[in-house]
Chains A and B, each alone.
Chain A
Amino acid sequence: MDRVNRRGFLECMAWVGTGVVWTATGGVLSSRVLPAAAAEPAAGSFSFVQISDSHVGFKGEANKDAAATLQEVVTKINALPAPPAFVMHTGDLTHGQKPGAFDTVAELLKGVKTEKVLYIPGEHDVFVDGGKEFLGRYANGGPGWQSFDYKGVHFVALVNVLKYKGEHLGALGGEQIAWLKQDLAGLSNSAPVVVFAHVPLWAVYPAWGWVTEDSQQAMALLTRFGSVTVLNGHIHQALQKVEGNVTFHTAMSTAFPQPAPGVGAGPGPMKIPEAQARPMLGMREVRYVVGTSPLAVIDSTLA
Chain B
Amino acid sequence: MAVLVVLATAGADVRAVPAALVDIQDSNYLPPTLTVPVGTTVRWINHDEETHTVTSLTGLFGSAGLDLKEEYEYTFTAPGVYPYTCDLHPHMRGTIVVN
Contacts and interface: CB of A to CB of B under 8 A. Distances in A.
B57 interface: yes
**Which label, helix, strand, loop or mixed, suits the secondary structure of the A interface?**
loop
B73 interface: no
Chain A interface size range: 20 to 34
B87 A165 contact: yes
A61 B51 CA distance: 14
A207 interface: yes
Interface string B44-61: 000011110101010000
A124 B85 contact: no
A127 interface: yes
Contacts of B28: 265-266
Given A61-B49, A164-B88, A268 B67 contact: no
B26 to A, nearest CB: 4
Given A61-B49, A96-B65, A209-B90, A266 B27 contact: yes
Contacts of A269: 49-50
Nearest to B68: A60
A60 B49 CA distance: 6
B89 interface: yes
Interface string A116-147: 00000001100110000000000000000000
A166 B85 contact: yes
A240 B7 CA distance: 65
B64 interface: yes
Given A127-B88, A166-B85, A96 B51 contact: yes
23 contacts: A60-B49, A95-B51, A96-B51, A96-B67, A123-B88, A124-B51, A127-B53, A127-B87, A127-B88, A128-B65, A165-B87, A165-B90, A166-B57, A166-B90, A167-B90, A168-B90, A207-B91, A208-B27, A265-B28, A267-B27, A268-B27, A269-B49, A271-B49
Interface of A: 58, 60-61, 95-97, 123-124, 127-128, 164-169, 207-209, 264-269, 271
